[in-house]
Amino acid sequence: MSVRISVAGTLLGAVCFLVGAALLFPAWRTAFTPRAKASFLAGADWAFTAGIIAILVGAVIVFFLFPNKHRELQLLDQDHAEDTTGSAPDKAARA
């Protein structure tokens, strides 16, 4: 948590400095604005890329590790059968 706070403080300080500099030196505004936009958009590209990778990894995990519909129905039937016909010692051993 402290790392996030320190990073946020650093970024806020940088933004405040740039806003103050832009107010004090209006000629610099033309230099700040395009660079700030480019920096923001570069960060957005990395965030979108990370999001797409996370979605693809999640899809692969679901596809290969989760049972398909037929297998899931078999497992549900098997669990239901075990729950309704299980003997008392088996239930005590599981608890």
Structural domain spans, the chain: 2-86
Q: pLDDT value at position 1?
A: 46
Average pLDDT of span 77-84: 91
- Between 46 and 19, residue with greater pLDDT: 46
The torsion defined by the Cα of 26, 32, 37 and 38, in degrees rounded to 10, comes to: 150
Is residue 86 scored above 70 in pLDDT?
no
**pLDDT (tens digit per residue) in 28-77:** 777 777 777 777 777 788 889 999 999 999 999 999 988 888 988 999 99
Q: pLDDT value at position 87?
A: 55
Euclidean distance between CA atoms 58 and 55, whole angstroms: 5
